[in-house]
Amino acid sequence: MREDGVASKVQTESTTEQENLRHKLRKIQKLSARKRRKEWLFQGNNQTMDQGSLIKDSKTQMCYNLRLPYSIFFPSFKILTLKHIIFPDDQSTQRLFSGCPVLEELTLDDCYWDNINAISISAPMLKSLVIYDLLDSESRHQIEVAYHANKLIKELSNVESLVLTPQTVEALDYKEEFIAHLPKFHNLAHLEFYTGFVDMASGALMKVFQNSPCLASLELNGGIELTKEDWKLDHVPPCFLTHLKTIKIGDFLGTEEEVLVVRTLLQNTAVLERMVISWSKEFSGQGQKQKAYHHDQKKRMHEFWNSP
């Protein structure tokens, strides 16, 4: 009898701890977990989960399967990040996204989509959607990537702030028809490229400028380049004349192409108030000849900037 009583007490305490854990998990708003095994698992009923389920250590490049229960519901989940995850199928993946009714930030980083035909991310409170993906493949896949990039951009046409990668613009440039069907961004006030060189000769980029009448801020944090030697701004986007007030350019090397872009932007932005140029960190550790060359480029930029 004593052993049964002890077992009953232990079971009661265990049940109480589980209920307390479930109560805490229901209130989770942001998950920042680390890799614990090769398979990510949502455990238990619709209110519990394994906190090692969603985010994998960024230093590991393997993909991990995501196992999901039939019922998923996180009433307080506001921030969700999935990294290097293999989505199992349409239905369970759909249940995951539908089970976060107050989700505000969703990041999908280099996930594996081959098991997915189509899903709908229906989150009325969603403020930020970040999708990182890079595919280096043959022509057929490039067309597919361009098609899906174009389709995704159309769904984001009402946003006020948009962050893209140069690869997204490159994908849209793959076919003229994709450029022609880019949507109007009537509310877009801030456009940012956070990494990599942006090709200012891109037809898709120019189309985005043309279709963004209220664009006030442009950030080219990864630097700029030109893929056309005879580049010029044939048609000045309306926002350049009426709204664009801030331009930031990062990773600047002072090449003739970059200077040409800066000169063109300054000459064609009627209401510009601020242009910030950050020099590339590559200058450190360079040889004396390279340093002398870039010093000369900086001098030329300074003279150009202060010229009438």
Q: What is the pLDDT of residues 38-53, one digit of tens each?
A: 444 443 333 333 333 3
Q: What is the pLDDT of residues 168-212, one digit of tens each?
A: 888 888 778 888 889 999 999 999 998 889 999 999 999 999 999
Which of 117-131, 273-287, 288-302 is predicted least confidently?
Answer: 288-302
Mean pLDDT value across residues 142-161: 78
Answer for the pair 275, 252: CB distance below 8 angstroms, yes or no.
no
**Which residues, other chains included, contact 205 with Cβ-Cβ below 8 Å and sequence gap of 6+?**
169, 198, 199
pLDDT tops 70 at residue 32: no
Give whole-number Cα distances, 169 to 129, 174, 211, 234, in Å.
17, 9, 14, 19
Confidence category of residue 55, pLDDT binned at 50, 70, 90 = very low
**Which of 52-61, 92-101, 270-279 has maximum average pLDDT?**
270-279
- Cα 290 to Cα 278: distance, rounded to the nearest angstrom: 18
Residue 237 to residue 214: CA distance in whole angstroms: 11
Tokens of 4: 């049964």
Q: Which of 87, 88, 81, 127 is nearest to 108 (CA)?
A: 81
What's the rounded Cα separation, in Å, for the pair 170 and 160? 22
Domains of the chain: 26-133 (no CATH), 137-308 (3.80.10)
Distance CA 183, CA 274 (A): 28
Burial class (CB in 10 A: 0-12, 13-18, 19+), 11: exposed
What's the pTM value of the predicted model, to 2 decimals? 0.57
Point out the least confidently predicted range of 199-208, 210-219, 294-303. 294-303
Q: For the chain, give the percent of residues with pLDDT over 70.
A: 66
Give the count of alpha carbons within 13 A of 33, CB side only. 22
Q: Give the model's pLDDT for residue 37.
A: 40
CA dihedral 44, 46, 50, 56 (to 10 degrees): 140
Establish how many alpha carbons lie within 13 A of residue 4's alpha carbon, considering only the half-sphere containing its beta carbon.
1
